[in-house]
């Protein structure tokens, strides 16, 4: 029985606990949060043996085989290092670390200790992504990818998150080097990194604060990003992050020398795009029918997955966790190649450096502190 | 000014958290009407104080209202907020849909607030504003302050509110912390247009009417605010729980009929209680069977709590707090419907 621990008992820890429980051959031996109330609430809602507020104590007493690290990103490196040094395998939520150097150090440490490490790029293991990967491996593209387009959008209209982020000048997301981008874009970048040849891609990034956020007085949170990425062998990619465009796409397009594929993560659809054209007017009539047929096929696939009780919102996470545990049990390769984790981190580093170098610092700390002083809003004497 | 027997003087400082929420301005207004002249409103950094300012402009003769911006997750902000407060009315809550977020924004924040004030000499009372959602109503037919409370099967909000109440009670028992818990029913009034889920659910363009002949435990916003204020200042009620519902509660069917007549015509389908119970039971079983492929948003706990027939008592609040709902149910509904019409017109 694999002994599992979770460090960090916030929202994403719930998803981890739920998916771990769906996997046989493992048990959650402990959870930990520096806020003991948060650790206790997770312990009370899931079958967990112990809860701790100190990680060192958890590692010493619970002796977990694997630790899932679901804390804010700025703490990932330190916690993952501690776990690996203790001899526990580490599943680190995205973004794995604050920069590529930290990711390299963690991977080196894991390899040195004969341990496994994986990143929380669970979208890479969703049903539709696995179907796409199988098609690419089967040679459907007709050769190595020529070009990719990854769109990963975010609706800042989500009141809870936006309110918390925009109103709190000390929100932990603001302390990340890439701020909002760093907390969100790794899923979309990882899709590109998987198929991009080479280890050190060239990156050209353009980021800015959307007019909507700018109008709300926001000057630090870059919520619009356009990136051109170029790997070895002249494979290229575009990456788009937007909080404003609609629909809020989570889409990946990959084109080879013969055919292409279009993946829609939200709808879990995968569409094959033929490279060959029909003659004359046939091109106007046959492909739309073929596309309609493909969409119907996707509906059938999705219904089948639902009826088989495997269409959970975090089905990808379950698959990633299962694959990770299997790689530990069989001492096989990790489910996400370390090269992919590092290329993702390097692309993100380059994006954040370029965006930061173009940003004009406004320094509104004084205003923030003034706002915390009491303000009289009603004082009247006759 | 309405003079009431009070544990504090009119110039003692009263802190109101969640002061810009739906209830906040009404509570501040009620405090001023009851003659209290020193109110501190604790608000999120992003919240608008426009409604509070309107109350201040309207009511603050010889009174001082100040706003303090901060985050209850910050112990420093909590210490600043509670400084010199004699009574704390804790309205702020986490309405988040995820359990950890709701818990953090209800329970952790409450703990921070209590830790900030529990050694403070000036503190006379902490009013923890809870909810009817905590009552399971599994076996009770009459909901009063002694009715069973439970988190199992409840949604994130219910879980957080149950745990918040437990935390406050524990502080009271362990440290003699001077608390009172107020549990309002469905608070309604202008500014909150949504129909209570106890009446039914608007889905796919049709309103599924689930309440039928059940009485809806409504409390008009100003009546509820008065009860909360009285719970904050009435002597001799430490450690007590008070339910707040108005008199003359309408049935769900009566409410819906009036809503259609006064606000808008809409299609509704009545789902008899045995059918809604069977649906909730089936959904719950499917959720278990599918390992949460569909989350258990409909379950027996929710059915018992929201759609099972029950009666509601406000006797204790009337007797011990001396509270009476000043706005009649019909007047409250008229104002609510007018607010709905105005919002829809806008």
CB A334 within 8 A of CB A327: yes
Helix (H, G, I), strand (E, B) or coil at A101: helix
Distance from CA of B42 to the nearest CA of A (A): 9
Q: Crossing angle of helices A76-86/A100-113, nearest 10°?
A: 10
Look at the block and give the residue holding tokens 């804010």.
Answer: A72
Put simply, the chain A residues between 261 and 320 with a CB less than 8 A from any chain B CB are 306, 309-312
Measured in whole angstroms, the distance separating CA A163 from the mean position of its chain's CA atoms is 22
Distance CA A93, CA A321 (A): 11
Mutate to test the interface with B, among A377, A379, A380 (most CBs of B within 10 A): A377
In chain A, residues under CATH classification 3.40.50.720 are 2-119
Higher pLDDT, B190 or A211: B190
A58: enclosing H helix or E strand: helix A55-62
| Structure token digits, residue A309 | 């009780």
Per DSSP, the residues of A37-49 read HHHHHHHHHTT-S
The interface predicted TM-score of the complex, written ipTM, equals 0.93
**Nearest-by-CA chain B residue for A305:** B293
A365: enclosing H helix or E strand: helix A365-371
Contacts of A33 (CB under 8 A, 6+ apart): A7, A8, A9, A10, A39, A42, A51, A53
Share of chain A above pLDDT 70, in %: 91
Q: What are B's interface residues with A at a Cβ cutoff of 8 A?
A: 40-41, 44-47, 49, 52-53, 55-57, 59-71, 77, 80, 96, 98-101, 103-104, 107-108, 111, 159, 163, 289-293
Is the pLDDT score of A361 beyond 80? no
Helices (H) and strands (E) in chain B, counts: 12, 14
| Structure token digits, residue A261 | 């594929």
Is the pLDDT score of A173 beyond 90? no
Domain A2-119 has CATH 3.40.50.720: yes
Please judge whether A160 and B101 are an interchain contact, meaning their C-beta atoms are less than 8 angstroms apart.
yes
CB-nearest to B52 from A168, A377, A382 is A377
CA atoms in the 13 A half-sphere facing the CB of A281: 0
Please report the pLDDT score of residue B345 as a whole number.
80
Q: B303-343, pLDDT tens digit by residue?
A: 999 999 999 999 999 999 999 999 999 999 999 999 999 99
Mean pLDDT for the stretch of residues A79-99:
97
Is the pLDDT score of A362 beyond 50? no
CA A282 to each of CA A275, A287, B39, B173, B292: distance values in angstroms, whole numbers, following the listed order: 15, 8, 76, 81, 46
Place domain B13-189+217-248+310-329 in its CATH homologous superfamily: NAD(P)-binding Rossmann-like Domain (3.40.50.720)
Confidence of residue A161 (pLDDT cuts 50, 70, 90): low
Single out the residue of B231, B230, B223 nearest to residue B26, CA to CA. B223
Is the pLDDT score of A63 beyond 90? yes
Name every chain A residue with its beta carbon within 8 A of the beta carbon of B81: none
Please judge whether B55 and A378 are an interchain contact, meaning their C-beta atoms are less than 8 angstroms apart.
yes
Please judge whether A380 and B61 are an interchain contact, meaning their C-beta atoms are less than 8 angstroms apart.
yes
**Length of chain A in terms of residues written:** 382
Mutate to test the interface with A, among B40, B43, B69, B150 (most CBs of A within 10 A): B69
Please judge whether A14 and B99 are an interchain contact, meaning their C-beta atoms are less than 8 angstroms apart.
yes
Quote the Cα angle for A120-A126-A129, to 5°.
110
Distance CA B40, CA B89 (A): 10
Cβ contacts below 8 Å, chain A against chain B, sum to 105
Confidence of residue A380 (pLDDT cuts 50, 70, 90): very low
Phi, psi of A151 (to 5 degrees): -115, 125
According to DSSP, the β-strands at A26-32 and A2-7 are parallel
Average pLDDT, chain A: 92
CB-nearest to A41 from B53, B103, B290 is B103
Name every chain A residue with its beta carbon within 8 A of the beta carbon of B104: 10, 35, 38
Name every chain A residue with its beta carbon within 8 A of the beta carbon of B64: 376, 378-379
CA atoms in the 13 A half-sphere facing the CB of B310: 26
Burial class (CB in 10 A: 0-12, 13-18, 19+), B181: buried
A133: enclosing H helix or E strand: helix A127-137
Name every chain A residue with its beta carbon within 8 A of the beta carbon of B94: none
Distance from CA of B299 to the nearest CA of A (A): 17
Query: Terminus-to-terminus CA distance in chain A, angstroms?
Result: 76
Per DSSP, the residues of A329-358 read HTT---SS-HHHHHHHHHHHHHHHHHHHHH
What is the value of pTM for the model shown? 0.92
Q: A303-331, pLDDT tens digit by residue?
A: 999 999 999 999 999 999 999 999 999 99
| Structure token digits, residue A237 | 């990619």
Is the pLDDT score of A379 beyond 50? no
DSSP 8-class letter at B138? S
Please report the pLDDT score of residue A369 as a whole number.
36
Architecture in CATH of A124-358: 2-Layer Sandwich (3.30)
Strand partners, B40: B15, B66
| Structure token digits, residue B169 | 């009670």
Which residues of chain B fall below pLDDT 70? 1-3, 59-61, 346
Put simply, the chain A residues between 157 and 216 with a CB less than 8 A from any chain B CB are 160, 163, 166-169
Task: Give all strands (DSSP E) within chain A, no chain letters.
Answer: 2-7, 26-32, 50-52, 66-69, 89-92, 117-119, 147-152, 202-208, 224-230, 236-242, 250-255, 260-264, 269-273, 375-379
Is the pLDDT score of A192 beyond 50? yes
CB-nearest to B293 from A160, A309, A375 is A309
Burial class (CB in 10 A: 0-12, 13-18, 19+), A261: buried
Please report the pLDDT score of residue A364 as a whole number.
40
Distance CA B263, CA B244 (A): 26
CB B175 within 8 A of CB B111: no
CB-nearest to B99 from A45, A309, A312 is A45
Name every chain A residue with its beta carbon within 8 A of the beta carbon of B111: 37
| Structure token digits, residue A272 | 């094959």
Name every chain A residue with its beta carbon within 8 A of the beta carbon of B163: 41
- Rg of chain A over all Cα atoms, to the nearest angstrom: 23
Is the pLDDT score of A368 beyond 50? no
CB-nearest to A41 from B70, B163, B292 is B163
Please judge whether B66 and A375 are an interchain contact, meaning their C-beta atoms are less than 8 angstroms apart.
yes
In chain A, residues under CATH classification 3.30.360.10 are 124-358
Burial class (CB in 10 A: 0-12, 13-18, 19+), A36: middle
Q: A160-164, A280-284, A292-296: which range is least confident on average?
A: A160-164
Quote the Cα angle for A146-A147-A153, to 5°.
160
Name every chain A residue with its beta carbon within 8 A of the beta carbon of B60: 378-380
Distance from CA of A39 to the nearest CA of B (A): 10
DSSP 8-class letter at B251? B
Name every chain B residue with its beta carbon within 8 A of the beta carbon of A375: 66-69
Higher pLDDT, A215 or B226: B226
Please report the pLDDT score of residue B61 as a whole number.
67
């Amino acid at each position: 029985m694999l002994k599992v621990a979770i460090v960090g008992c916030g929202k994403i820890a719930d998803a981890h606990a739920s998916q771990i429980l769906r996997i046989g051959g493992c048990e959650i031996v402990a959870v930990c949060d520096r806020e003991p109330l948060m650790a206790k609430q997770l312990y009370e809602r899931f079958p967990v043996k112990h809860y701790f507020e100190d990680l060192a104590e958890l590692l010493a007493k619970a002796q977990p085989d694997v630790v899932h690290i679901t804390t804010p990103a700025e703490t990932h490196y330190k916690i993952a290092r501690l776990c690996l040094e203790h001899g526990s395998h580490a599943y680190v939520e995205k973004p794995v670390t604050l920069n590529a150097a930290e990711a390299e150090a963690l991977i080196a440490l894991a390899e040195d200790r004969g341990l496994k490490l994986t990143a929380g790029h669970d979208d890479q293991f969703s049903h539709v992504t696995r179907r796409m990967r199988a098609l690419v491996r089967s040679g459907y593209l007709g050769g190595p990818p020529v070009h990719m387009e990854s769109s990963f959008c975010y609706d800042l209209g989500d009141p809870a998150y936006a309110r918390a982020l925009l109103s709190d000048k000390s929100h932990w997301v603001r302390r990340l080097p890439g701020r909002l981008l760093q907390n969100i874009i790794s899923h979309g970048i990882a899709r590109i990194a998987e198929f991009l040849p080479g280890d050190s891609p060239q990156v050209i990034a353009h980021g800015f604060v959307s007019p909507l956020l700018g109008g709300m007085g926001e000057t630090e949170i870059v919520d619009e990003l356009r990136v051109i990425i170029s790997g070895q062998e002249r494979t290229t990619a575009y990456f788009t992050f937007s909080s404003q465009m609609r629909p809020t796409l989570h889409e990946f397009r990959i084109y080879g020398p013969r055919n292409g594929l279009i993946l829609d993560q939200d709808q879990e659809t995968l569409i094959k795009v033929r490279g060959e054209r029909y003659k004359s007017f046939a091109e106007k009539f046959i492909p739309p029918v073929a596309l309609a047929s493909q969409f119907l096929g996707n509906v059938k696939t999705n219904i089948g997955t639902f009826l088989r009780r495997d269409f959970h919102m975090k089905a990808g996470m379950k698959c990633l966790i299962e694959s990770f545990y299997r790689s530990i049990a069989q001492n096989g390769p990790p489910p996400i190649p370390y090269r992919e984790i590092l290329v993702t981190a390097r692309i993100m580093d380059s994006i954040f450096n370029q965006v930061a170098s173009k940003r004009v610092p406004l320094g509104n700390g004084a205003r923030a502190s003034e706002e915390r002083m009491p303000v009289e809003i009603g004082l009247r004497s006759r | 000014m309405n003079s009431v027997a009070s544990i504090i003087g009119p110039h003692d400082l009263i802190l109101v958290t969640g002061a810009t929420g739906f209830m906040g301005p009404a509570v501040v207004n009620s405090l001023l009407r009851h003659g209290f002249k020193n109110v501190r409103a604790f608000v999120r950094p992003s919240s608008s104080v426009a409604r509070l300012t309107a109350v201040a402009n309207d009511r603050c003769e010889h009174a001082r209202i100040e706003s303090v911006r901060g985050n209850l997750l910050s112990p420093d902000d909590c210490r600043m907020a509670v400084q010199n407060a004699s009574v704390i009315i804790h309205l702020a809550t986490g309405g988040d849909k995820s359990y950890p977020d709701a818990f953090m924004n209800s329970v952790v924040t409450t703990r921070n607030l209590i830790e900030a004030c529990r050694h403070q000499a000036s503190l006379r009372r902490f009013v923890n504003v809870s909810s009817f959602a905590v009552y399971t109503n599994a076996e009770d037919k009459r909901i009063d302050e002694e009715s069973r409370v439970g988190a199992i099967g409840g949604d994130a909000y219910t879980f957080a509110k149950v745990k918040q109440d437990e935390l406050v009670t524990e502080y009271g028992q362990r440290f003699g912390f001077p608390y009172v818990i107020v549990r309002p029913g469905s608070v309604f009034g202008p500014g909150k247009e949504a129909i209570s889920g106890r009446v039914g659910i608007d889905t796919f363009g049709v309103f599924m009417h689930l309440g039928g002949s059940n009485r809806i435990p409504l409390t008009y916003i100003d009546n509820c605010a008065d009860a909360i204020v009285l719970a904050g200042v009435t002597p001799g009620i430490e450690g007590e729980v008070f339910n707040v519902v108005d008199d003359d509660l309408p049935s769900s069917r009566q409410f819906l009929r009036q809503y259609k007549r006064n606000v808008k015509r809409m299609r509704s389908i009545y789902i008899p209680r045995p059918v809604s119970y069977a649906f909730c039971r089936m959904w719950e079983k499917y959720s278990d069977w599918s390992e949460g492929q569909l989350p258990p948003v409909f379950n027996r706990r929710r059915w018992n709590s929201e759609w099972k027939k029950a009666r509601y008592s406000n006797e204790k609040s009337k007797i011990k707090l001396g509270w009476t709902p000043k706005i009649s149910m019909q007047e409250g509904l008229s104002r609510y419907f007018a607010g709905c019409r105005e919002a829809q017109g806008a």
